[in-house]
């Protein structure tokens, strides 16, 4: 291997290390100031995965609702069959918690 090849490989490795670090900074959640294990949505235990946290956020739920609505319009039989797999009690609890949270924040914001 020549010096020119070694220099090119070192340059590529340096760029890869920089891009990995940039991706790590983008994808890893920011560290908590108090050192608590709470995630970005304020819950320490659920949901733990970043994918579920994204899906449970406001934008994620809107996207899931749009996909579910499109599936219901396009293939209603498949959508109803898939709906059987959704735990109704968990969804109901989640919706109630969100509704109560929205009501509380609305009451706190009004003087």
In a domain, 40, yes or no: no
By residue range, what is the domain housing residue 11?
A: 3-33+51-109
Task: Identify whether 39 is part of a domain.
Answer: no
pLDDT in tens, 41-75: 555 566 777 777 777 777 877 888 888 889 999 99
In a domain, 41, yes or no: no
Positive or negative, the Cα torsion across 39, 41, 42, 43? negative
- 90, HSE (Cβ side, Cα atoms, 13 Å): 6
| High-pLDDT (> 90) share of the chain, % | 23
75 within some domain: yes
Report yes or no on 81 lying in a domain. yes
Q: 65: closest CA among 86, 39, 93?
A: 86
pLDDT at position 31 over 90: no
Of 10-14, 44-48, 93-97, 107-111, the poorest mean pLDDT is in: 44-48
Classify residue 43: in a domain, yes or no: no
Specify the number of domains making up the chain.
1
**Bond into 47 cis (ω within 30):** yes
Inside any domain, residue 44? no
The answer to whether the pTM exceeds 0.75 is no
Task: Please check the confidence at residue 78 and state whether its pLDDT lies above 70.
Answer: yes
**pLDDT confidence tier of residue 12, bands split at 50, 70 and 90:** very high
d(CA 53, CA 42): 10
- Asked, for residue 56, whether it belongs to a domain, the answer is yes
- pLDDT for residue 44: 56
pLDDT value of residue 39 = 46
């Amino acid at each position: 291997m020549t010096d020119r090849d070694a220099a090119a490989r070192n340059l590529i490795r340096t760029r890869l290390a920089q891009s990995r670090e940039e991706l790590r900074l983008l994808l890893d959640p920011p560290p908590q100031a108090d050192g608590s294990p709470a995630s970005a949505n304020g819950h320490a235990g659920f949901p733990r995965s970043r994918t579920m946290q994204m899906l449970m956020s406001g934008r994620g739920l809107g996207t899931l609702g749009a996909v579910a609505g499109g599936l219901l319009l396009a293939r209603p039989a498949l959508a109803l069959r898939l709906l059987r797999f959704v735990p109704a009690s968990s969804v109901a609890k989640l919706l109630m918690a969100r509704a109560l949270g929205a009501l509380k924040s609305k009451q706190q914001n009004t003087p």
